[in-house]
Amino acid sequence: MEVGQMQRAWVEYTRSLFREGFLDAQFQQLQLLQDESNPDFVAEVVSLFFEDSERLLADLTFVLEQQNIDFKKVDAHVHQFKGSSSSIGAQRVKNDCIAFRNFCEEQNIEGCLRCLQQVKQDYYLVKSKLEALIRLEQQIVAAGGSIPMEELSS
Amino acid sequence: MCKRLVQMMQGNIWISLNPLGSAQSMTLVLRFQNRPSYGRATFAPGSSSEQPSSNPQFRGLRVILADDDALNRAVTKKLLEKLGCEVTAVSSGFECLSALSSAENSVRLVVLDIQMPEMDGFEVATRIRKVRSRSWPLIIAVTASAEDNVWERCLQMGMNGMIRKPVLLQGMADELQRVLPRKSFEGRHSAS
């Protein structure tokens, strides 16, 4: 694929991610913060997000498997997950966390378990999409092109 | 340092260093329009960073950023750097206090996450205000809370500003503008 085609693919893919609610304006802001002094900024922040998330999901799974569930702990983890997904612009994950916290407050075990499944699902979805997006960006750059951010506002 | 201060007070001209360390004058037309800089030509060949910030008031502003979350810390740091700030990022209240004391008077602003384990932002602010005046360094709190009384609490603890998470570039720029006096570098730095 030549650069122009890759750039068009990038625009279409990014637009679809925003349109389908996987990512929100916060992610776009991160893209705009990237520059020559830090050309891997987005990739770095995204990988921090993946690390955080894997750990949080493991912790959540563990806490929810216990006989006596410590809802305070659950809430603390979900709160953190909400914070990091919000900082990166992973909209669906963030919204799942909001619902999750409500069930925590009610100490609703069923609800919490369902939320855990939902948030895992949405996390893995956005993870694969972000990985694909970053791969595409790296290919564009490797081919000597630039990321056409300005196309997103049209 | 002096040269930079004087030029900043005049407004439009400031100096940046090229990677070889020698001074290189640069006049920038300032537009706060987010333009993608990735892959585009920089203003001066060899310059290691581009300053798209539209506000010279933040240029060279020394900031300590304290946030225990690695992701938030990376994003907020980048955001502040985009606005021209020189940022030292730390991950706890303790590190913040020690960084501040070793920096003496050169740090103008502390950006503090309120929700930190061990020592939260309120406590850090209280400790800072015990030994420093209310306007130097300035303290901006970063909070996830949507409660109304957070701002009051921030003020009581001696903070000067507050921003809600997630932190956006415009939000940070607005708050910096609000808390910083017009000539924020006057009078405090000795000639060097």
A–B CB contacts, 8 A cutoff, strictly below: 82
This model's pTM is above 0.95: no
Look at residue A32 and tell me whether its pLDDT is greater than 90: no
B106-121 confidence digits (pLDDT tens): 999 999 999 888 899 9
Tokens representing B38 are 């990735």
Look at residue B45 and tell me whether its pLDDT is greater than 90: no
Contact B49, B85 (CB under 8 A): no
Across the interface, do A83 and B144 touch by the CB < 8 Å criterion? yes
A51 or B18: which leads in pLDDT? A51
B98-107 confidence digits (pLDDT tens): 999 998 789 9
Q: Which residues of A touch B75 (CB under 8 A)?
A: 30, 33, 45, 87-88
A89-148 confidence digits (pLDDT tens): 999 999 999 999 999 999 999 999 999 999 999 999 999 999 999 999 999 999 998 888
Q: Is B72 on the interface with A (CB under 8 A)?
A: yes
Domains and CATH numbers, chain B: 1-32 (no CATH), 39-190 (3.40.50.2300)
Mean pLDDT of B37-43: 39
Domains and CATH numbers, chain A: 3-145 (1.20.120.160)
A residues 84..143 contacting B (CB < 8 A):
84, 86-89, 141
Q: Is B73 on the interface with A (CB under 8 A)?
A: no
ipTM: 0.83
Contact A95, A119 (CB under 8 A): no
Tokens representing B95 are 């590190």
- Residue A33: which of B165, B49, B158, B178 has the closest Cα? B49
In this complex, the residue of A26, A80, A147 whose CB is nearest that of residue B166 is: A26
Neighbours of A149 (CB within 10 A): 20
In this complex, the residue of A29, A38, A52 whose CB is nearest that of residue B71 is: A52
Three-state SS string over chain B comes to CHHHHHHHHHCCEEEEECCCCCEEEEECCCCCCCCCCCCCCCCCCCCCCCCCCCCHHHCCCEEEEECCCHHHHHHHHHHHHHCCCEEEEECCHHHHHHHHHHHCCCCCEEEEECCCCCCCHHHHHHHHHHHCCCCCCEEEEEECCCCCHHHHHHHHCCCCEEEECCCCHHHHHHHHHHHCCCCCCCCCCCCC
- Residues 6 or more apart whose Cβ sits within 8 Å of residue B170: none
